[in-house]
């Protein structure tokens, strides 16, 4: 690393997911403050990440550093080459503090437990003043999470969401929800018909050159998953993130809610310009890296709703706002109220290995093939692909939630533990016993058939349960329900399922369970 003898009073660390240009740190130029942004092996390897994910984080960090420099701040950007000699973040900060003779170390509170612990410990170890502050990103300040969430308690999204709408005056009129209802979810369960496919807009994609970063990742021997070309479609700076947000509001929001749960395998992933991301915003990377703030996203979407003369109806805008001020803030609360114990929860005692085809999409199950292939290609899948395709499969087959967490944490462009884990371990795997969601999201092939066109092109038969080519999800579903009857039959949202199952003749039940066992025994070959 280049040696410098410049002295500063304060060293301020900016983590890769803290690219918030509106933070109060940057409201004044302080010549005696050095901002440090560093590519770190510890961050690129704590789990095996998608190639695009590492590259996009590094590219966005570099862009942020350039923007801060252009605004007059003192910034030190360190590449993997510069930081390779340090064992980890604490060693780097100790070295820089001494080198620049700083008397104070500042950091924004990390959103991941792992990093918060590491920096808290570093703060104690350093012989200079160490100060942590809020990242000023979320609606709910960090120190208020405890007022809304309690460890182990089964919180419900709907209650929290209403409180957030009222408190932050979002889509409210005279203290009542705009449109007369809090939640229009029942209007948002449409399937895309063949005629709808032609209308899906081409996504707004960027062509950011990441070739130099990819070479650096390679040079440092960082193991990755997924595919990447020299250009990446994700936004890497504020300008691009704002363009994507505006594009979403003008082009996708009118049908966002309507087709939010839909899936299609008809749009080839080989042609990036067709509508593979449907009406979704793809702003999760920009949000989670803090390039965009949730308030900016919500305010922009609501302004588009008001300006739209009815093309964006209330169920579209409400559905979108609920994801941001509802689900996103909710899972963060659950995470912080329950960590570190949450990371060990395994309520259904699941222990199976994740099949190897999760890393190459080589499965004949068309729904899984498509969701995984898309994830490998773009480091992206939308919510229902994550919850009801890959997540549902892992739930039904009893995959160890540690392995499920690692896969999701690695593969998705937006995956940071605070948001990934409650969604994966909690909502999709029910490993938290219902802290995040009120039921296990278990489904047979019928759900996939209802919400997608995958089944028509599948080698398995979605309407069959125990025949040769029967859709594996059907018998696996009943096997799951049978195996976890004690838990599921006592849950008001799943107990009615047993009305059907218990009425079946014993030999029919056994045939289905045998079929499920066959699929479990041959899980690698599905
Ligand atoms: P859109 O569908 O356009 O939604 C808009 C925004 O709402 C998203 O960008 C996101 O910020 C927010 N949002 C929507 N649903 C959720 C949710 N359940 N939790 C938190 N925020 C939400 N989201 C992540 O940001 N990181 C993750 O690591 C992650 N892991 C997930 C794992 C599983 C098993 C599941 C079921 C969901 C996960 N989600 C995660 C939530 C959701 O799938 C993604 O936020 C969404 O697919 C991102 O794409 P988008 O920006 O196009 O979202
Ligand atoms: Fe998926 Fe079953 Fe449909 Fe095939 S038949 S796409 S495995 S739900």
Burial of 271 (C-beta count, 10 Å sphere; 0-12/13-18/19+): exposed
What ligand is nearest to the CA atom of residue 477? 2
Cβ atoms of 459 and 368 closer than 8 Å? no
Q: How far is the CA of 240 from the centre of ligand 1 (A)?
A: 20
Encoded tokens for 12? 């301020």
Res. 289 pLDDT band, cuts 50 70 90: very high
What ligand is nearest to the CA atom of residue 465? 2
Tell me: pLDDT of 3 over 70. Answer: no
Cβ atoms of 294 and 324 closer than 8 Å? yes
Residue of minimum CA distance from atom 7 in ligand 2: 365
Ligand 2, residues 368, 396, 471, 515: which to mutate, most atoms within 8 A of Cβ?
471
pTM over 0.85: yes
Tell me: pLDDT of 271 over 80. Answer: no
Tell me: pLDDT of 2 over 80. Answer: no
Residue 408, C-beta contacts closer than 8 angstroms, at least 6 positions apart: 386, 415, 420, 423, 424
What ligand is nearest to the CA atom of residue 375? 1
Tens digits of residue pLDDT in 395-429: 999 999 999 999 999 999 999 999 999 999 999 99
Tens digits of residue pLDDT in 329-380: 999 999 999 999 999 999 999 999 999 999 999 999 999 999 999 999 999 9
Q: Angle between the 238-247 and 294-307 helix axes, to the nearest 10 degrees?
A: 30
Cβ atoms of 338 and 386 closer than 8 Å? no
Tens digits of residue pLDDT in 216-228: 999 999 999 999 9
Maximum C-alpha span of the chain:
81
Calpha distance 157→436 (Å, rounded) = 8
Tens digits of residue pLDDT in 426-454: 999 999 999 999 899 999 999 999 999 99
Tens digits of residue pLDDT in 6-37: 899 999 999 999 999 999 999 999 999 999 99
Q: Which residue in this structure is represented by tokens 């890497």?
A: 236
Q: How far is the CA of 443 from the centre of ligand 2 (A)?
A: 11
Ligand 2, residues 265, 355, 363, 367: which to mutate, most atoms within 8 A of Cβ?
367
Please list every protein residue whose CB sits less than 6 Å from any atom of ligand 1: 280-284, 287-288, 323-324, 327-328, 331, 382-383, 386-387, 391, 408, 412, 414-415, 419-420, 423-424, 427-428
Position in ligand 2 atom list of the atom nearest CA 447: 8
Predicted local distance difference test score (pLDDT) of residue 185: 83
Phi, psi of 36, rounded to the nearest 5 degrees: -120, 125
- Residue 174 to residues 161, 177, 233, 310, 325: CA-CA distances in angstroms? 18, 8, 42, 21, 20
Calpha distance 434→526 (Å, rounded) = 30
Please list every protein residue whose CB sits less than 6 Å from any atom of ligand 2: 365-367, 445, 448-449, 454-455, 458, 460, 462, 471, 473
The DSSP H or E segment spanning 78 is: strand 74-78
Predicted local distance difference test score (pLDDT) of residue 392: 98
């Amino acid at each position: 690393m280049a040696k410098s003898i410049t002295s500063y009073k304060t060293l301020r660390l900016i983590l890769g997911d803290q690219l918030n240009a509106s933070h109060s740190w940057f409201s004044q130029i302080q010549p005696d403050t050095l901002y440090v942004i560093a590519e770190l092996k510890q961050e690129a390897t704590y789990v095996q990440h998608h190639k695009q994910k590492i590259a996009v984080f590094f590219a966005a960090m570099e862009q942020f550093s350039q923007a801060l420099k252009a605004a007059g701040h003192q910034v030190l950007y360190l590449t993997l080459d510069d930081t390779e000699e340090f064992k980890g973040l604490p060693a780097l900060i100790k070295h820089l503090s001494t080198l620049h003779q700083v008397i104070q170390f500042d950091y924004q509170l990390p959103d991941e437990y792992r990093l918060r612990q590491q920096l808290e410990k570093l703060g104690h170890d350093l012989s200079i003043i160490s100060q942590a502050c809020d990242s000023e990103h979320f609606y709910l300040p960090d120190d208020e999470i405890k007022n809304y969430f309690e460890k182990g308690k089964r919180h419900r999204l709907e209650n929290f969401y209403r409180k957030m709408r009222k408190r932050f005056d979002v889509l409210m009129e005279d203290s009542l929800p705009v449109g007369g209802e809090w939640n229009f979810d029942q209007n948002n369960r449409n399937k895309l018909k063949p005629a709808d496919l032609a209308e899906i807009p081409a996504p707004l994609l960027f062509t950011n050159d990441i070739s130099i970063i990819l070479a650096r990742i390679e040079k440092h021997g960082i193991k990755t998953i997924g595919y990447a070309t020299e250009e990446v479609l994700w936004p890497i700076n504020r300008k691009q993130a704002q363009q994507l947000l505006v594009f979403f509001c003008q082009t996708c929001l009118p049908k966002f809610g309507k087709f939010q749960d839909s899936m299609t395998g008809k749009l080839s992933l080989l042609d990036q310009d067709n509508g593979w991301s449907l009406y979704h915003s793809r702003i999760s990377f920009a949000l989670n890296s803090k390039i965009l703030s949730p308030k900016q996203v919500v305010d922009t979407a609501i302004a588009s709703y008001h300006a739209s003369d009815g093309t964006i109806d209330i169920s579209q805008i409400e559905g979108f706002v609920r994801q941001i001020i509802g689900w996103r803030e909710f899972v963060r609360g659950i995470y912080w109220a329950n960590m570190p114990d949450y990371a060990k929860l395994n309520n259904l005692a699941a222990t199976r290995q994740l099949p190897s085809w999760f890393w190459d999409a080589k499965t004949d199950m068309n729904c899984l093939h498509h969701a995984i292939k898309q994830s490998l290609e773009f480091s992206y899948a939308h919510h229902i692909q994550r919850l009801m395709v890959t997540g549902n499969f892992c739930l039904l087959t009893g995959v160890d939630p540690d392995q499920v967490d690692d896969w999701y944490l690695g593969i998705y462009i937006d995956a940071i533990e605070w948001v990934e884990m409650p969604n994966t371990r909690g909502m999709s795997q029910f490993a938290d016993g219902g802290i995040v969601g009120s039921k296990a999201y278990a489904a047979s092939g019928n759900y996939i058939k209802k919400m997608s066109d995958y089944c028509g092109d599948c080698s398995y038969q979605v309407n069959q349960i125990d025949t040769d080519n029967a859709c594996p999800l059907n018998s696996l579903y009943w096997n799951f329900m049978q195996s976890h009857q004690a838990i599921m039959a006592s849950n008001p949202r799943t107990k009615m399922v047993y009305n059907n199952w218990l009425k079946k003749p014993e030999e029919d039940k056994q045939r289905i369970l045998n079929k499920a066992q066959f699929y479990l025994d041959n899980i690698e070959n599905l």
